Homo-oligomer: A and B are copies of this chain.
Amino acid sequence: MSGATELTLGDLGERGIQERVLRPRYGALEGFGDDSAFLAAVETGCELVATTDSCPTPVVNILAEPDLFHAGWLLATINLSDLAAAGAEPLGLVVNYTLPKTTTVAEFERLLDGVDACCREHRTKVAGGDIRDGATMQLTATAIGRCVPGSRLRRSGAQEGDRLLLVGSPGYLWAAALVKTGRASLPEALADELWRRACRPDAQLKAGRILAAGGLARAAMDVSDGLFATVRTLCEANGLGATMTGEFELDAIVAEVARQSGLHPFELAQTWGDWGLVVATRAEDAGLVVKTLWGEGVPAQEIGTMTAGPALTLGADGPAWEGTAQERFSASSWHGGEAATLVAAVLGHH
């Protein structure tokens, strides 16, 4: 080892990592060190749900410094976002990290900081996990949650005529990418705020619980691969199509970046990385649902109507909606790349 600040996980070994890194951080958890992590004592009836996702390389790490904090935050967000789509309350996260032996302890701490910070934000915790060494870093987590019996949200359940809502504030990540690659520029304070939001996407857990508890949603799904892929999947799950308004009122910072970049607001609203929810509600409830969410501090807008389908169109009798969708195990499966190439691939050349 070359000095205290460069101490690596390989220097510590598994037992050293356990005692010097993990115990100081997680040792007070009930069940710390046991074969199985203690998640929660459940006293009343509930439906349990679970979801697992691996963390891709965060786009913000490609745009700027490769700080593992962002990977940690993202890992927690993508898993909690799936619980949000079910209307579930998180009971905890179980993490599984494969890390090279050359990972420094400082880098590892940043990863843990990111996961823990995101969990705290949502009043949940890392309940347990496993680490092992391997040639390539791989970060995986499983989130476990509980739903009030009968309230669990699913992808199916929508009907023709239902309104589609987008819950959350889209466009922050790719607006930040446009600024970083010089296609827009903002005063420093606004650029900082944009970057902060891009680095800390927000799983819509509160919205999911409100929608589930109030019976306000007939179907829901989180936006993990972009709006087009999400709406298409939601439509397929219900044997329906959709007519999109093609309009979206972006947050002011994001709207300014769209304007400078020559992008229509809906183009930026279609991007991924902000972990919103797409929700189908009864037409007659749509206004109330949007108002209810805003009243709780959660942004939501109507973006379309579900149709007999199967077509996805922009406006009634309008042209086909041709969004981009990344698909795993295909040529579009995304594994990182240069910032400028990325922006071009996601937003096109304008």
* Residues of A that sit less than 8 Å from B by CB: 9-10, 12-17, 31, 33-54, 81-83, 85-86, 88, 91-92, 94-96, 98, 101, 127-136, 138, 140, 142-145, 149, 152, 154-156, 220-222, 237, 327-330, 333, 335
A49 lies within 8 A of B37 (CB): yes
Q: Given contacts A50-B142, A142-B94, A145-B36, are A135 and B133 in contact (CB under 8 A)?
A: no
Q: Given contacts A94-B142, A140-B96, are A34 and B135 in contact (CB under 8 A)?
A: no
Nearest to A15 among chain B residues (CB) is: B327
- Can you list 29 pairs linking A and B with CB atoms under 8 Å apart? A10-B330, A13-B330, A14-B327, A15-B327, A33-B156, A34-B86, A35-B82, A35-B85, A35-B155, A35-B222, A37-B50, A37-B51, A39-B48, A39-B49, A39-B50, A40-B48, A41-B45, A42-B45, A48-B144, A50-B94, A50-B142, A52-B128, A52-B140, A52-B142, A54-B132, A96-B96, A98-B138, A138-B138, A144-B144
A338 vs B62: C-alpha distance in the bound complex, in angstroms?
Answer: 39
A38 vs B85: C-alpha distance in the bound complex, in angstroms?
Answer: 13
A350 vs B306: C-alpha distance in the bound complex, in angstroms?
Answer: 73
- Beyond contacts A38-B152, A41-B48: 18 other A-B pairs, Cβ-Cβ < 8 A, are A16-B329, A33-B237, A35-B82, A36-B49, A36-B51, A37-B51, A39-B47, A41-B45, A42-B48, A48-B91, A50-B92, A50-B128, A51-B94, A52-B129, A94-B142, A96-B142, A101-B329, A133-B329
